[in-house]
Amino acid sequence: MSLKNQVVVLGCGVGGLTFASTLAKQAKGSASVTVIERKSRFQFPPSYTWVVMGWREPKQVQRDLTPLARKKVKIINEAVIKIDLSAKRVATSSSQIAYDYLVVALGAEHVPGEIPGFEDYAHQFYDLVSALKFREALNGFAGNTVSVGVSRTPFKCPAAPYEMSLLLDDNFRKQGKKVEVHMFTPEAQALPATGPVIGKQVERMLATRGIKYHPKKKLVKVARDSIVFEDGEEINHDLLVAVPPHRCPSVVVDAGLTDSSGWVPVNPNTLATKVEDVYAIGDVSAIETPHGHMPFLPKAGVFAQGQAEILANNIAHSITGKGERKAWDGSGTCFLEVSKSESAFLRGTFLSKPPRLEFHPPRRKWHFDKIALEKFWMTYRL
Ligand SMILES: Cc1cc2nc3c(=O)[nH]c(=O)nc-3n(C[C@H](O)[C@H](O)[C@H](O)COP(=O)(O)OP(=O)(O)OC[C@H]3O[C@@H](n4cnc5c(N)ncnc54)[C@H](O)[C@@H]3O)c2cc1C
């Protein structure tokens, strides 16, 4: 057994939680696992669209983190304020925590203030509080036009804004409301990471429902009832919901872990950063793709989870000497909900050249699979 066994995990979202619980199981009794997380609850973002539509209540999509302690994981419920890579130490407001292995899983920060008017006039659904506010706005909505969009790339869950436009459109129809839905994005096509063929299939789904799609549109200004793009075009609407700009958490940038991408470059197979014994998983990381669809892998929970499982296995192996090392292969799946009871489904290996990708049109089966995934996170993951 190695003398190096102090593992510190920064962040307990999808990646951090998966890593900590998998490592605690695989290196039982041999590793000391400490998680630093500012929230006391784990929240499941894939269900936020259901919260917006009123199909879930907040308590159904979050869980207290305390059961992790039963797995002998120590949780420090504070914000990370400094990562000192040379001293191998992390600071919170009340303590300094030394590590042998550091796993950075701090996700992405939202910065709506980067776009003038966003905070005053745009709704968003990328956190639970904002999703609930948007739900309230929808409840009293009596307008004719809604804009749904993406303000900047990269953003997490490439399918989420498309899903939101399809769900809103479906819901307005079922309520007998005639509402025109616009979908805008700076991307050149829908879901660019999946390539042009699948992108066209998704765009056809929008077109079939009459959703007006505006690709290659970079949002520069939000006003009370309109948005303005970089090319000067304007869309007027009665309600706007948009994905806010994302950036790497400043504590990670200040530590010197990022590169010109703005995110943490890692070895795709091992998740190692340029600093020995320091790893980054999930949204905080930047992984270059070997194909031309997109320069970097999209940010998604399914990748954070897969990376976390591989990394936990490998660190458990380093500590216990048992089992064998594994390499992450970039595979992932994604649901694209289109109504209350149907979802499309995507599956692929995103790091192979060419990528192997499948698109499965909407069916009830995929919707039930997403419910099963939610149940796993809400019931079994901890
Ligand atoms: C609406 C929506 C729908 C989505 N749907 C899907 C989907 O269907 N499928 C899918 O694969 N992905 C989906 N995603 C994306 C997925 O949620 C993220 O990619 C995933 O959560 C990334 O995991 P992570 O561990 O990297 O970051 P996160 O899960 O964001 O976790 C980061 C954690 O770090 C904590 N943290 C940050 N800074 C600090 C600090 N300074 N100190 C202490 N703690 C800190 C945060 O509180 C958070 O708990 C969706 C996202 C959204 C918003």
Per-residue pLDDT of the chain (382 residues; tens, 9 = 90+): 678 999 999 999 999 999 999 999 999 999 999 999 999 999 999 999 999 999 999 999 999 999 999 999 999 999 999 999 999 999 999 999 999 999 999 999 999 999 999 999 999 999 999 999 999 999 989 999 999 999 999 999 999 999 999 999 999 999 999 999 999 999 999 999 999 999 999 999 999 999 999 999 999 999 999 999 999 999 999 999 999 999 999 999 999 999 999 999 999 999 999 999 999 999 999 999 988 788 899 999 999 999 999 999 999 999 999 999 999 999 999 999 999 999 999 999 999 988 899 999 999 999 999 999 999 999 988 8
The residue out of 245, 267, 295 marking a domain boundary is 245
CB 11 within 8 A of CB 106: yes
Instruction: Indicate the top mutation candidate among 157, 162, 345 to test ligand 1's pocket, ranked by most ligand atoms within 8 A of CB.
Output: 157
Cα–ligand 1 centroid distance for 207 (angstroms): 30
Using CA atoms, how far apart are residues 205 and 189, in angstroms rounded to an integer? 13
Say if residue 239 is in the same domain as residue 256: no
Instruction: Tell which residue, 353, 332, 302, 307, has the closest CA to residue 44.
Output: 302
Instruction: Tell which residue, 328, 358, 356, has the closest CA to residue 345.
Output: 358
Query: Is 18 strand, coil or helix?
Result: helix
Please indicate whether residue 156, judged by its CB atom, sits closer than 6 Å to ligand 1: yes
Using CA atoms, how far apart are residues 331 and 345, in angstroms rounded to an integer? 14
Say if residue 89 is in the same domain as residue 147: no
Please indicate whether residue 306, judged by its CB atom, sits closer than 6 Å to ligand 1: no
Cα–ligand 1 centroid distance for 45 (angstroms): 7
Classify residue 211: in a domain, yes or no: yes
Cα–ligand 1 centroid distance for 235 (angstroms): 30
Specify the DSSP class assigned to residue 288.
Answer: B
Q: Which residues contact 66 (CB under 8 A, 6 or more apart)?
A: 75
Specify the DSSP class assigned to residue 47.
Answer: G
Classify residue 14: in a domain, yes or no: yes
Tell me the residue length of the chain. 382
Count CA within 13 A, CB hemisphere, residue 85.
Answer: 17
Classify residue 352: in a domain, yes or no: no
Using CA atoms, how far apart are residues 194 and 294, in angstroms rounded to an integer? 9
CATH number of the domain at 274, please: 3.50.50.60
CB 227 within 8 A of CB 238: no
Cα–ligand 1 centroid distance for 231 (angstroms): 32
Classify residue 92: in a domain, yes or no: yes
Say if residue 120 is in the same domain as residue 41: no
Classify residue 148: in a domain, yes or no: yes
The residue out of 228, 245, 262 marking a domain boundary is 245
Say if residue 56 is in the same domain as residue 149: no
Q: Which atom, in ligand 1's list, is nearest to the CA of 284?
A: 26
How many domains in the chain?
2
Q: Which atom, in ligand 1's list, is nearest to the CA of 79?
A: 42
Say if residue 125 is in the same domain as residue 88: no
Exposed/middle/buried for residue 52 (C-beta within 10 Å: 0-12, 13-18, 19+): buried
Classify residue 74: in a domain, yes or no: yes
Atom 29 of ligand 1 has which residue's CA nearest to it? 13
**Residue 154, preceding peptide bond in cis (omega within 30° of 0):** yes
Say if residue 325 is in the same domain as residue 265: yes
Classify residue 39: in a domain, yes or no: yes
Say if residue 166 is in the same domain as residue 226: yes
Residues forming beta bridges with residue 219, ordered by sequence position: 229
Classify residue 365: in a domain, yes or no: no
Q: Which atom, in ligand 1's list, is nearest to the CA of 108?
A: 30
Please indicate whether residue 244, judged by its CB atom, sits closer than 6 Å to ligand 1: no
CB 39 within 8 A of CB 18: no
Instruction: Indicate the top mutation candidate among 36, 37, 335 to test ligand 1's pocket, ranked by most ligand atoms within 8 A of CB.
Output: 37
The residue out of 312, 330, 348 marking a domain boundary is 330
- Note down the domain range covering 203: 115-245
Please indicate whether residue 263, judged by its CB atom, sits closer than 6 Å to ligand 1: no
**Single-letter residue type at 24:** A
**Residue 354, preceding peptide bond in cis (omega within 30° of 0):** yes
**Single-letter residue type at 287:** I
Atom 48 of ligand 1 has which residue's CA nearest to it? 13
